[in-house]
Amino acid sequence: MNKNRRSFVKKIGLALVVSPVASVLAKNNTVRSNNVNKPVVISTWNHGLDANAAAWEILKNNGSAVDAVEAGVRVPESDPNNTSVGLGGFPDRDGNVTLDACIMDQHQNCGSVAFLQGIQNPISVARLVMDKTPHVMLVGAGAKSFALKNGFKHENLLTDKAKKAWQEWVKKSKYQPIINVENHDTIGMLALDQNGNLSGACTTSGAAFKMNGRVGDSPIIGAGLYVDNEVGAATATGLGELVMKTVGSHLVVELMRQGLSPNEACKKAVERIAEKLDDYKKYQVGFLALNKKGECGSYCIQKGFNYAWKDEKNEKLVDAEYWVK
């Protein structure tokens, strides 16, 4: 080996020791890494920070991505002050808190619940649907009865805070989704574990003051969440109707399969909404994606969507790029 090559190899070796995961935040907010960046967990909005911390406890101890995402999103589900997920979620226009959630693992297994009432952690019911039934989705009374039979406890999920907000809303009874309301919404979480496996979870109380019986994108595999362990994973937040009409998360994963970065794929999915849906400017949708290399990206319709990112070196919020300037 000549001297120049030796010194080059030495420098590279040193760089690998000092920085086993050389990741940088590129201009377009895509996190690019020279090596596979794992483990890593990302999730939507500010509430993703605490959720990621819980998921990280599992990932750092060589736990599985699916266990990590379930544990992670249970945190905002159980937070009574979080008005868009689980306990304390804003009710529908008749005062009922109805919850939607789904989970997907590296083997294409998935579980989902929709229109579930009285159970604080719908994600764990979805996990049980995935693990213990031949089905993908249980809804309403059937989902509730399945949960109760499996040891989940019924509780009143309508907190005083949410009840007050609903009583205020009832005075005018005007249904109009508010963009980035309270800077949080659905939590969607994606993780890549130390074994290089991907999983995702998504959970919400849905659009505040929705019609009774309305189900959004969050429990719909392919809309609110999609995972393909060969390619990547994606999740969505914002007004579910727009995501369902374009099967957003599946689209993002398929675009990554075609070679797009997570950031580029999320941007294309937002472009699809803008092309197809006339009134998209009135609403917010944000996509979040993670690929097999541990690169992440996001894109949204309106300014204001952010995501929480945690890996060995980072624990922070990243603002998503947006379409409507």
Residues forming the site for ligand GLY (CB under 6 A): 186, 204, 206-207, 216-218, 237-240
Identity of the residue, 192 or 234, whose beta carbon is nearer to ligand GLY in the bound complex: 234
Identity of the residue, 105 or 217, whose beta carbon is nearer to ligand GLY in the bound complex: 217
Least distance in angstroms from the C-beta of 227 to ligand GLY: 17
Identity of the residue, 200 or 294, whose beta carbon is nearer to ligand GLY in the bound complex: 200
Pairing of strands 315-319, 23-25: unpaired
Least distance in angstroms from the C-beta of 2 to ligand GLY: 59
List of E strands, the chain: 23-25, 31-33, 40-44, 99-104, 110-116, 137-139, 187-192, 198-204, 225-228, 232-238, 285-291, 296-300, 306-311, 315-319, 321-322
Q: How many CA atoms lie within 13 A of 233 on its CB side?
A: 36
Identity of the residue, 244 or 253, whose beta carbon is nearer to ligand GLY in the bound complex: 244
Residue closest to ligand GLY when measured from CB atoms = 216
Least distance in angstroms from the C-beta of 35 to ligand GLY: 34
Least distance in angstroms from the C-beta of 205 to ligand GLY: 8
Q: List, in order, residues 6 or more apart from 319 with CB less than 8 Å away.
A: 29, 305, 306
- Contact present, 244 and 216 (Cβ < 8 Å): yes
Least distance in angstroms from the C-beta of 218 to ligand GLY: 5
Identity of the residue, 31 or 223, whose beta carbon is nearer to ligand GLY in the bound complex: 223
- SS3 assignment, position 143: helix
Least distance in angstroms from the C-beta of 219 to ligand GLY: 9
Identity of the residue, 240 or 294, whose beta carbon is nearer to ligand GLY in the bound complex: 240
Beta bridge partners of 285: 238
| 186 has catalytic annotation | yes
Measured torsion, CA atoms of residues 131, 221, 66, 47, in degrees rounded to the nearest 10: -130
Tell me the Ramachandran region of residue 238: left when phi exceeds 0, alpha when psi lies from -120 to 50, beta otherwise.
left
Q: Rounded CA gap, 145 and 168, in Å?
A: 32
- Contact present, 266 and 298 (Cβ < 8 Å): yes
Sequential DSSP letters for 199-253? EEEEEE--STTPPTT---STTSBTTTEEEETTTEEEEEEE-HHHHHHHTHHHHHH
Tokens standing for 42? Answer: 């990302």
Least distance in angstroms from the C-beta of 204 to ligand GLY: 4
Beta bridge partners of 212: none
- Contact present, 29 and 298 (Cβ < 8 Å): yes
Selecting among 98, 186, 203, 204, the annotated active-site residue is 186
Identity of the residue, 152 or 209, whose beta carbon is nearer to ligand GLY in the bound complex: 209
Q: Rounded CA gap, 84 and 187, in Å?
A: 9
Which residues participate in catalysis according to the annotation?
A: 186
